[in-house]
Structure 1
């Protein structure tokens, strides 16, 4: 582990200290390491660098939308190598939520999630990706 010295303006330091308190970090070093890892992962994704990830795809959809359930199932079957498990929740008479654990190459997981979220009848969707060394 290496020790470094950085200079932050007072406003940024106040924001960092507030984040540390809010999230319960034990010290500034832990927070900065976590934020650095997150920023590096985001930069790698934005630059299109290949790598593997684990991810959570969460979306809400109208289960009565014509053929949507069939289209979703077909998409999952065509990408069976990415999907680890799915939890299905009935929210009300019209809406369901699904949470899917995914694993695979970043760009394949992102493409799959984009396709699911773009389906007509999917109302909200979000993908959370984390780096993984597993293939």
Structure 2
């Protein structure tokens, strides 16, 4: 790490105890690495709040037997084709499928396609996982 800077942090003993428990649970080697990850996570959230160019995944589970569902999902994906970088389709069983879409674009546009897909009748569950291109992170 270039230009590593050390600094002190004061906090309530109870909060530090909870932080140390989280560090142990998640197998961090030290407080510094855990704190860096928390800061990065907050910065990624800010990118999404500021509607910057971002990347993420949209995961949906659906019943392919629902009338015209496949056509609706395909139409939505074609409508937003400029944002969709890749898709993965898995048959879970004879009725259910899982799709994962990798998306890249402005946060607002990605939220819009995620909301459209997830709210489509027949989609049993969906989730947008927001991340970053990493361009603005150290």
Figure out how many residues of one structure are paired with residues of the other and give that number.
132
Deviations 1:21-55 (A, max 9, x none): 2222221111111112212332453xx41201110
* Contact 2:69–2:122 (8 Å) recurs in 1: yes
* Contact 2:58–2:127 (8 Å) recurs in 1: yes
Distance 1:4 1:44 in 2: 25
* Contact 1:51–1:131 (8 Å) recurs in 2: no
Q: How does 1:1-135 map to 2 (within 5 A)?
A: 1-45=4-48, 48-132=49-133, 133=135
* Contact 2:47–2:54 (8 Å) recurs in 1: no
Distance 1:50 1:92 in 2: 37
User: Normalization by structure 1: what TM-score?
Assistant: 0.88
Distance 2:59 2:132 in 1: 18
**Structure 1 ranges of 4+ moved more than 3 A:** none
CA-atom RMSD, angstroms? 1.7
Structure 1: segments with no counterpart, 5+ residues: none
How far did residue 91 of structure 1 move? Answer: 1.2
User: Normalization by structure 2: what TM-score?
Assistant: 0.87
- SS of 1:85's partner is strand
